[in-house]
Structure 1
Amino acid sequence: MDSIGIIQIFLLIITITVVAGFASVVYFLGEIYRALTRPEPEASPGVTNDHGAPDLAGSAPLPKGIDPRNAGSLEECLGTITEKYNLASFTLATADGLLIGSTKRGAEDEAARYSYLYTQGTLQDETGAELLGIPHHGETVIGIARPSEPLSPELASALEQDTRDVLQHWV
């Protein structure tokens, strides 16, 4: 191979590298644009406005109910609930600690621990997890919600109702 062939191969490698670099820059700029143009989530009741004062205009309307028939699985419904109520995770367990479903991987230990705490009368722990007792077919299903901020009584009631609807359809 002569020197011209080596130079051509070298130029080809440089061209491919530049094109790949340009494509990745365009891709990441598109991701940044999508992140910047995404609509802001609606504020929760009691959230402060831009000036730091509490929002006294009244409480926001409760989110609409979830139709479990629109989801392909129990986990999809739990994911919808998690988004709707701005939860970090949501887990359902039986009263004796067996996992029913969760948006969190490896939630078996969490189901067992929090089911036990619920049977001992604990409704919230030091980490901020809120425990809900949801009657279903004569048993109590334990809902383990990890909200970003404490749930108001209205939101907790709406969360319980949505969970009842999901359980009625899937369990």
Structure 2
Amino acid sequence: MDVTDPRERYDDLLTERRTWEVDAETFAAMDDNEAFTAGWVTIGVALDGDGRVLLVYNADDEQWVVPGGSVKPGETLPEALVRELDEETGVRVEPVRPHAAVENVIEYEGRTRSFTTVAFEADPTTTAVGENLGEDDEAIERADWFAELPEETFEREFATRLLERVR
């Protein structure tokens, strides 16, 4: 299946465009970056029965992150979401609906590369966090449920807005 841009279906999404100027080396390195080659990334805001949000800890960045990842060829956004949350947390989810679409753009000397992150609400069908989290090349150290976002949350302001929409 092809990816369908949720901005075409939902008129109430949080939408943003984030642009960064980068150097030549960083721009070239994105040739092999999965998010940029795929063009789409999904993340999932999953709440348990107590209203706690599921996050993963990225040891490289030393931050908690809303779980998700790149869409593989042939996947829909919801299919990628289910696969990514299972890989990164061991928690099975059912996608509810998208709540945000963020276009991420890097620029170098007039050239650009981009990908779009789509943030979904996701209902967990299980809540037990798995073991052996993430793929071999990922720095996912652990996953856990939180009543409130930790201070060390990646893009905390944006994550807070997402959480408020889903709750």
- Normalising by the smaller structure, the TM-score range is under 0.3
TM value normalised by structure 2: 0.24
Q: Which structure: greater helix fraction?
A: 1
The answer to which structure, 1 or 2, has the higher relative contact order (CA under 8 A, 6+ apart) is 2
Q: Which structure: greater strand fraction?
A: 2
Task: Find the structure with the greater CA-based Rg.
Answer: 1
TM value normalised by structure 1: 0.23
